[in-house]
Amino acid sequence: MAEELTYRAAGVDIDAGNRAVEMIKKSVRATYRPEVMGDLGGFGGLFALNPKYKEPVLVSGTDGVGTKLKLAFRLNKHDTIGQDAVAMCVNDILVQGAEPLFFLDYLAVGKLNPEQVAEVVKGVAAACKESGCALIGGETAEMSGFYPPGEYDIAGFAVGVVEKERLITAALVNEGDILLGLPSSGLHSNGYTLARKIVFERRQMTGSEYIPELAKTIGEELLTPTRLYPKIILPLLAEFAAAVRGLVHITGGGFYDNIPRALPKGLAVEINSDAWEKPPIFSLLQAWGNVPWKEMYRTFNMGIGMVVVVAADKAGAVREFLTAQGEKCYEIGRVTTGEGVTIRGEVFDHAD
């Protein structure tokens, strides 16, 4: 007689999934805003839009973490990767002036480990709380045979709101506007296919090597979570609504592909690459991989995670405001006529 089969024997443990949900409930509830309706366990997350908005525009964004996950697997460290998932979504909707309202995550695993899931989701919840948005739902899918044991993928979806008259679009940008750069926390979640090839294939590192220039191991550096910008950008928009002409989240595609997305036809930008401090990880990757400088600025954020485009006559006041908030701020360029992005500076002047 054939052996009886169960879902668990086939590779999916429903009880483990239920345990994971119990382990994350406290973290998830800590993110709730007053607008959240209901609790965990429903088929959909409920959120009542605040009636203070006259002409609310909902802004949504979705993203994943990419091959940075390979670092989490290699180092068996999963408590920060959730912040990457949140940051890549909330920073994207932020650039259109939207306040993040709520977030949903999707976590797919090969074999469900409740402790690992709880570690990842606690990172998601902490990032949501810091960003001011509620974690109102999610999905954990156990996909036996699809992902190797111990590995997973995570993606997220964020929704924000902005008054229609405060919506930030490319049409607001003018020639002569100033570009202010806000520091990144490192690579964020972009360029990891190249970074991993340099570090683990060309340099044959394991991730545990201590790098004096970084004052930490290379693994710790590469797992530094993506910075969350809502806490600094939302107060800036409240104070300087008319002066902020545009915002750019520097993600995949770096300077060359992201900045033009915030510009109207006929306008370009000139960037001074000597205007800000570069975290040492970027010069290390460039040297270790012999990467052309233009490729560096198209692949990585080079130490600038968010760009604020401001009216020239308000640039000084905006910088003073940011400095008073404890934020480093660099004047990195200006808007000109033309097309695309031109980067100038010492490394470009001496590049082959």
Same domain, 205 and 148: no
Residue 297 vs residues 138, 141, 214, 258, 294: alpha-carbon distances, Å: 34, 36, 20, 11, 5
Same domain, 203 and 265: yes
Same domain, 103 and 35: yes
End of a domain among 137, 166, 195?
166
Mean pLDDT (the chain, rounded) = 94
Q: Where are the alpha helices (DSSP H) in 80-227?
A: 81-94, 114-131, 192-196, 218-222
79-124 per-position pLDDT tens digit: 999 999 999 999 999 999 999 999 999 999 999 999 999 999 999 9
6 falls within a domain? no
- Report the residue count for the chain: 352
Model confidence at 28, pLDDT cuts 50, 70, 90, reads confident
Residue 183 CA to residue 171 CA, distance in Å, equals 26
Same domain, 330 and 257: yes
- What DSSP character marks residue 83? H
> Which CATH number do you get for residue 89?
3.30.1330.10
End of a domain among 119, 135, 166?
166
3 falls within a domain? no
Q: Is 198 helix (H, G, I), strand (E, B) or coil?
A: helix
27 falls within a domain? yes
> Which CATH number do you get for residue 218?
3.90.650.10
Beta bridge partners of 303: none
Model confidence at 11, pLDDT cuts 50, 70, 90, reads confident
Beta bridge partners of 330: 181
Which residue did the predictor score with more confidence, 60 or 22?
60
What is the total count of domains within the chain?
2
**Which run of H or of E encompasses 162?**
strand 152-163
4 falls within a domain? no
Residues 167-183, mean pLDDT to the nearest whole number: 97
216-239 per-position pLDDT tens digit: 999 999 999 999 999 999 999 999
User: Which pLDDT does position 12 carry in this prediction?
Assistant: 78
User: Which pLDDT does position 350 carry in this prediction?
Assistant: 65
Q: Which residues neighbour 77 within 8 Å (Cβ) at sequence distance 6 or greater? A: 71, 219, 223
- φ, ψ of residue 109 to 5 degrees: the values are -125, 160
* 50-54, 124-128, 131-135, range with the lowest pLDDT: 50-54
Model confidence at 351, pLDDT cuts 50, 70, 90, reads low
- Structure tokens of 113? 């480990």
260 falls within a domain? yes
Which residue did the predictor score with more confidence, 54 or 4?
54
53 falls within a domain? yes
In 3D space, the residue among 182, 180, 184 whose CA is nearest the CA of residue 317 turns out to be 180
Same domain, 161 and 177: no
Same domain, 193 and 264: yes
Model confidence at 186, pLDDT cuts 50, 70, 90, reads very high
User: Which pLDDT does position 316 carry in this prediction?
Assistant: 96
59-90 per-position pLDDT tens digit: 999 999 999 999 999 999 999 999 999 999 99
User: Which pLDDT does position 43 carry in this prediction?
Assistant: 84
Domain that holds residue 92: 13-166
Conformation bin of residue 160: beta by default, left when phi > 0, alpha when psi is -120 to 50: beta
Same domain, 72 and 141: yes
Same domain, 176 and 153: no
Q: Is 33 helix (H, G, I), strand (E, B) or coil?
A: coil
112-116 contacts, C-beta under 8 A, 24 or more apart:
112/12, 112/13, 112/16, 112/17, 112/20, 112/140, 112/142, 113/16, 113/150, 114/16, 114/17, 114/19, 114/20, 114/23, 115/23, 116/78, 116/150, 116/152
Same domain, 183 and 322: yes
104 contacts 111 by C-beta, under 8 angstroms: no
Which residue did the predictor score with more confidence, 167 or 16?
167
5 falls within a domain? no
End of a domain among 111, 133, 166?
166
Residues 11-24, mean pLDDT to the nearest whole number: 77
190 falls within a domain? yes
Same domain, 22 and 54: yes
User: Which pLDDT does position 206 carry in this prediction?
Assistant: 97
User: Which pLDDT does position 21 carry in this prediction?
Assistant: 76
- Structure tokens of 144? 């036996």
Same domain, 254 and 214: yes
Residue matched to tokens 């020639």: 175
20 contacts 140 by C-beta, under 8 angstroms: yes
Same domain, 106 and 201: no
233-281 per-position pLDDT tens digit: 999 999 999 999 999 999 999 999 999 999 999 999 999 999 999 999 9
Residues 320-328, mean pLDDT to the nearest whole number: 96
- What DSSP character marks residue 211? E
